[in-house]
A = this chain, B = another copy of it.
Amino acid sequence: MDTKPIVLKLGGSAITDKTNLKTARPDVIERLAQEISDASISRLVIVHGGGSFGHPFAEKYRINDGYKNASQIIGFAETHEAMTELNKMVVEALIRHNIPAVSIAPSSFIVTKRRRIEKLDINIIAKLLDMKFVPILYGDAVLDSEQGFAILSGDQLITQLAIAFGAERIVIGVGVDGFYTADPSTPDAKLIPRVSLGEMRTLLNRAGKSEATDVTGGMKQKIIELIPAIEHGIHAVMVNAATANNIRRTLRDQPVRGTVFIKE
């Protein structure tokens, strides 16, 4: 039987400068490509976020609210185009490091229904993995069967891909060291090294009750998206992708400062 794949998320906050429109961090992307190459994982699916290539356009044109008026049409086109621009940088860096990365555009084969993936056809991705390619997906502007269009986040994608492939684990590279007791930029915030499924649910309940103090440290949506994978018994490791060697070590299952999300 084939090895179970690892699903790797490269967060938009790690590979882009979120404070400047359409500004990538080419040095980080280059280093990550080197680390992924060094880790030499036999079956790997990569999903990257949008950072300053995705969110500013998606918000400007309110893509995730769905189709409201004709002026959004060019905005949808721009949002998708900006995402392919970032994707190109990631894929090119990986190929330079001899990784046979093949971009798979979510909007070319996935339709959502009220922002949720309606049906995930994994045929082409599975065949790419069998042939030793590394499929690269990304958060994207996609068509939606009920609201016209929507944003399909990389976080929704990693969980759905991990479940569909029965992934060995999920590795989430973000711009901070992991999951904190509060916003990581506040002095009292403490890194939580291990979060169980029960604790994830409790956190969400508390987050739901108090919108003012986000007890998930700004990671509420990530936790919501991750839960189905954890329920399926797939654990996730969240580490800082901006710190050298973290992604390489985590892919190799070596200890790294970060947070493990696990069923029990």
A residues in contact (CB < 8 Å) with B = 67, 70, 73-74, 76-78, 80-81, 84-85, 88, 91-92, 95, 98-105, 107-109, 111, 123-124, 127-128, 131-133, 143, 148-149
Contact = CB atoms under 8 A, between A and B. Distances in A.
A229 to B, nearest CB: 23
Chain A interface helix/strand/loop/mixed:
helix
A64 B112 CA distance: 33
B104 A108 contact: yes
A15 to B, nearest CB: 17
B77 A100 contact: yes
Contacts of A149: 131
Given A73-B133, A77-B100, A101-B77, A108 B111 contact: no
A81 B84 CA distance: 11
Highest count of chain B CB atoms <10 Å: which of A76, A81, A95, A123 = A81
B105 A123 contact: no
Nearest to A110: B124
B95 A124 contact: no
Task: Give the number of times this chain occurs in the complex, counting copies.
Answer: 2
A95 B149 CA distance: 18
Given A80-B103, A103-B108, 15 more contacts: A73-B132, A73-B133, A74-B100, A76-B102, A77-B91, A77-B133, A78-B95, A80-B102, A81-B95, A84-B84, A84-B88, A104-B105, A107-B124, A108-B124, A111-B123
Sorted from nearest, which 5 A-B pairs have the closest CB atoms? A108-B108, A77-B100, A109-B109, A105-B105, A73-B100
A74 B98 contact: yes
B77 A102 contact: yes
Nearest to A67: B131
A130 to B, nearest CB: 10
Nearest to A77: B100
A102 B92 contact: no
A103 B95 CA distance: 21
13 contacts: A70-B132, A73-B131, A73-B133, A77-B99, A81-B95, A107-B124, A108-B108, A108-B109, A111-B123, A111-B124, A111-B127, A131-B148, A131-B149
Nearest to A149: B131
Nearest to A98: B74
A114 to B, nearest CB: 16
B109 A76 contact: no
